[in-house]
Amino acid sequence: MPDRYDVLVIGAGAAGLMCAATAGQRGLRVLLVEHANRPGKKILMSGGGRCNFTNTGTAPECFLSANPHFCKSALARYTPWDFIAMVERHGIAYHEKELGQLFCDVSSKLVVRMLLDECEAAGVELRIGCSVERVVHGDGGRFSLHTSQGRFSASALVVATGGLSIPSMGASGFGYDLARQFSHAVLPTRAGLVPLTLSGRPREQLEGLSGVSLPVAASCNGTTFRNAMLFTHRGISGPAILQISSYWQPGDRLLLDLLPGQDAHAVLEHARAERPAAELRTVLGDLLPRRFAQRLCEGWLSQLQPSRPMRQFTPAQLQEVAGLLAAWPLVASGTEGYRTAEVTLGGVDTDGISSRTMQSLSVPGLYFIGEVLDVTGWLGGYNFQWAWASAHAAGTAVCSD
Ligand SMILES: Cc1cc2nc3c(=O)[nH]c(=O)nc-3n(C[C@H](O)[C@H](O)[C@H](O)COP(=O)(O)OP(=O)(O)OC[C@H]3O[C@@H](n4cnc5c(N)ncnc54)[C@H](O)[C@@H]3O)c2cc1C
């Protein structure tokens, strides 16, 4: 006979820990199983080791999903302020970086410790290094987990197995397989918040710039992010690129405004009036990182002879340079993939899930929460906020029979 619980939660990551604690606090008997050798591995590595645990500017518009309305209910009922209250209750010091992003002052370990303490206080049983071999949905609607540590059954099963990014941290496609087992649709998955790679001519033209960064406004498919861009050995990264990568599909062209917030044409006109003898390449070298400006001149602007003094440029030519600075086109060849991606786009189709409870609409007692669902946040604490909010929605809704 399997050990009996009220709720089984698969995956002790951000969402699984939160859901287990929430359900346990309601007096339910909860088992949380994790196949990795420790819980919350992604929390530990997040935010450069300081966990960007939420964003005070969280809004449904900050999430990508085939159904942009799906995330609204859970986000409204468990807000960043609810999580902040828990963080403060546990005495964890934090600070705000740009744009409402909240980070621990000391270490991400404190967030994992907090969630484990919440689970412990709620009587949650946690099994680490526990591999789920199969899930059986038996007569009477109970779920039975066959694992490397025995058999467990419950009337509610919460799938919190996350996405595919960083397989070395325990990421697996198990949640998607489970969804398919129960006839749930899984939308195509791809890496998000990920560096982009370049190949061919742009790669050659930008060779050797690794480490150079500059502020840009990166646009793709009608969405724009203004932040830093960084050249890497294989392509481009930095927050602006990670953000836009979630909107990029193979073959799409990026447009990069290299003087964000400035009118490039006015800047160049001003330079011509003030420094008529200065060469265009010198002026660009003052506006942009010098080595990058040099590559722009050698490649994209070579036909305009950028070693000429500013006074020799016609208004139409300056307009052409301004056009390039305002919308530098770059075609990425791919992404760095799940090995480095922070998130997985796509996943369990929200059409089959209740947005209020995260429960399957077709299989009573089956829940999906966190990143395994087709809900993906921007960079900046939004993905954890989705994990907390969806987990809280399920944790308050699960029943014992
Ligand atoms: C490097 C990095 C940095 C990040 N930084 C931030 C940040 O600062 N702020 C932010 O908001 N987001 C950040 N993210 C994204 C964030 O970590 C995820 O969106 C979030 O962890 C998703 O929570 P989850 O519980 O759904 O999945 P996860 O946290 O990935 O947890 C899933 C758990 O399920 C376990 N599991 C998987 N398959 C099985 C199985 N078959 N059996 C048992 N257990 C299983 C996994 O081992 C894992 O512990 C970062 C991601 C990465 C990779």
Three-class DSSP labels, the chain: CCEECCEEEECCCHHHHHHHHHHHHCCCCEEEEECCCCCCHHHHHHHHHCCEEEECCCCHHHEECCCCCCCHHHHHHCCHHHHHHHHHHCCCCEEECHHHEEEECCCCHHHHHHHHHHHHHCCCEEEECCCEEEEEECHHHCEEEEECCEEEEECEEEECCCCCCCHHHCCCCHHHHHHHHCCCCEEEEEEECCCEECCHHHHHHCCCCCCCEEEEEEEECCEEEEEEEEECCCEEECHHHHHHHCCCCCCCEEEEECCCCCCHHHHHHHHHHHCCCCEHHHHHHHHCCHHHHHHHHHCCCHHHCCCCEHHHCCHHHHHHHHHHHHCEEEECCEECCCCCCCEEEEEECHHHECCCCCEECCCCCEEECHHHECCEECCCCHHHHHHHHHHHHHHHHCCCC
Q: Return phi, psi of residue 340, to 5°.
A: -120, -5
In the DSSP assignment, the letter for residue 100 is G
Ligand 1 centre distance from Cα of residue 364 (Å): 25
Pocket lining: 114 vs ligand 1, CB cutoff 6 Å: no
Using the predicted structure, report yes or no on whether residue 183 has a pLDDT greater than 70: yes
Residue 400 is predicted with a pLDDT of: 66
CA-to-CA distance for 185 and 344, rounded, in angstroms? 16
pTM, full prediction? 0.96
Using the predicted structure, report yes or no on whether residue 256 has a pLDDT greater than 90: yes
Contact between 65 and 95 under an 8 Å Cβ cutoff? The reply is: no
Band (pLDDT 50/70/90 cuts) for residue 401 is low
Average confidence score pLDDT of the chain? 96
Ligand 1 centre distance from Cα of residue 17 (Å): 11
Using the predicted structure, report yes or no on whether residue 169 has a pLDDT greater than 90: no
In this structure, which residue's CA is closest to atom 53 in ligand 1? 342
pLDDT digits 0-9 by tens, 325-354: 999 999 999 999 999 999 999 999 999 999
In this structure, which residue's CA is closest to atom 47 in ligand 1? 170
Band (pLDDT 50/70/90 cuts) for residue 98 is confident
- 233: tokens are 């050995």
Using the predicted structure, report yes or no on whether residue 363 has a pLDDT greater than 70: yes
Cα 82 from chain centre: 21
Band (pLDDT 50/70/90 cuts) for residue 356 is very high
Over residues 205-224, the mean pLDDT reads 97
Pocket lining: 280 vs ligand 1, CB cutoff 6 Å: no
The helix/strand/coil state of 248 is coil
The terminus-to-terminus CA distance of the chain in angstroms comes to 18
pLDDT digits 0-9 by tens, 243-254: 999 999 999 999
Residue 171 is predicted with a pLDDT of: 84
pLDDT digits 0-9 by tens, 275-303: 999 999 999 999 999 999 999 999 999 99
Pocket lining: 80 vs ligand 1, CB cutoff 6 Å: no
Query: Percentage of the chain with pLDDT > 90?
Result: 95
Pocket lining: 392 vs ligand 1, CB cutoff 6 Å: no
Nearest atom, ligand 1, residue 383 CA: 11
Pocket lining: 264 vs ligand 1, CB cutoff 6 Å: no
CA-to-CA distance for 113 and 116, rounded, in angstroms? 5
Contact between 381 and 101 under an 8 Å Cβ cutoff? The reply is: yes
Using the predicted structure, report yes or no on whether residue 139 has a pLDDT greater than 80: no
Task: For residue 42, give the amino acid letter.
Answer: K
pLDDT digits 0-9 by tens, 9-53: 999 999 999 999 999 999 999 999 999 999 999 999 999 999 999
Over residues 59-82, the mean pLDDT reads 98
Pocket lining: 158 vs ligand 1, CB cutoff 6 Å: no
